[in-house]
Structure 1
Amino acid sequence: MGDAGSETPWPWPEYTREEGELHPDNAKIKKEIAAEYGEENLRRSWIQVCKMLEAVTKEIREKGSSMIREFSYDDFFTMNKADKEEVKRRGCVVVRGTIPTETAEGWFQWMQKYMQDNKGVITGWPKEQPYILQLYWTKAQVEARTHPRAMALQRAIISLFHDDEDLEQSFAAPMAYADAMRMRPPGNSFTGLGPHIDAGSLCRWGDPAYRKIYEKIWQGRPDEFDAFDFTWRKRGDPAYYPGSSQSHVVRAFQGWTALSPTAPHEGSLQLFPDLKAGIAYVMLRPFFRPPGNLGDVLDAEKWSLDLDDPWFPGVWRHTPQVLSPEPFPHLRLKETMTYIPEMKPGDSVWWHMDMCHAVDVEHKGKDYAAVVYGAATPTTEMNARYMKGQLKDFLAGVSPEDFRGGCFEGGLKGFPGESAILNGEEGKRAFGYYL
């Protein structure tokens, strides 16, 4: 767990109404949803979800990091039904030995040399000492996306979803979506990636297709919400409100593969390990106003429906959803943000696109905390359109559309180009060559 109690200092920003986005259209969105599904159904869901979170908080306190299931690479493919349902309930999983250890360590060594050979040219975040690097086409990244074991695992993860319009699961063929990588040195503090949920923010309510994903929640039946129904999810547009931080693809699960050892307090990852309760609460929270007496704030019955307030907590329409304890009290984030287990080179971690996650503030380890980001990205019409453009960017050696602004990678010493694509025709297909 986050070694936390209610008195634990909160290291990340709080998100209050005073600094929130109070666009007049926001209240219209709330009223549209309430008119379509009924105010009483919203209230019914609110009460039920807050009760669910009481049990979730208790379980996380007791079990901590053991809530996050771990499987060996081979065992992941032979999970029984109960294990599969547990992974879906948690919305996250660690897969040991996704990449052979010596391969992952080789990528790490290669990256260290690549950074040295191109010192002063590679850009990243934070600017003063970049370690979330604006690199997308290195040998380590391209090989990690197209390694046969990685692609097989991505397909298996995407196959956890179902689609009423695609019973053969053709959507499960993984696409090689390009993301950044992290080479974080020890000894620094970083508060730039506190608890958040990717795949947009206001679009979850504002985009009619995205909104449809959460219909069971709006209908007062949150226990029936299926986060793995892909029928409408493939249509939900995370860039419905365009912005520099928005993705133009639907990523079923986010993920990364470790290139170096990492552990809690060593630049690792924290998750809120209950998918359904977490996202249901986030979706309902904007509709309700807390009681005037702070002592009653955890009593869901004393919250009142408010459709006139334009504030969506933690939402700026052009950025991902962010969370903090004050506006989301029932999540008990100080107690429930849970460290993933210790990771070794080649291990990977995966979390559902609706899952709250955060990057460790501290790195008290002795070496780089190095990871390659790589999402389990399904084949959809929206994603195929993006991948056509991404392939052009790759061949030109420039940053992809979702991450404009990096250096000209095609001019870096050691730039590998197409030679880094593994897995033959399947790897090239994942990169968009045959679209």
Structure 2
Amino acid sequence: MAYIMLRPLFHRGEFDDSLPTFPGSTPGNTQFFPTTAHHPHLAMDRAMVGIPPVKPGDYVFWHCDLVHGVDELHPGILDSSVSYSACNPLTPYNVKSLLATRPAFEAGDVPEDFARSHGTYEREFQHGEDCGARRENILSEGGLRALGLARLDEDEEGLSPGQREVRRLANEKLGL
């Protein structure tokens, strides 16, 4: 964040404060899409660490506020994509999303918001090998709850009346 705020002070003759744009950013995509040309101070060629090879179903965790990137060249023959699964507050919109995500997970398919944005691409069930998208691979009660496969605890100690009610409503919508 500090770099984003200070970036205009690293004058290279490209920043014009009369414009609503920022060097190297694409409005509507992100307001910080660093490139070595526009952001040499980040030394991205030395600062970013590569991720070892992954297979379908593998998980890679990173913090979304850090600079990260995807290889520019994808030599594979199938879709290469990143799906961001955020930690969300329990809201009516997120419960609705969970109602669509749960059957997609159970079918080894992509959630509707991903399919809607990206069309029909590779699906986990198309892999001959185990993609990992199976209920028995979820090893904790918290993981089951996150996918809408287990009840949310309406009686958890310390919950406010509103939190209890929203959990009750979510369990009802999820049929749990």
Name the structure with the higher strand share: 1
Whose helix fraction is larger, Structure 1's or Structure 2's? 1
TM-score (norm: length of structure 2): 0.50
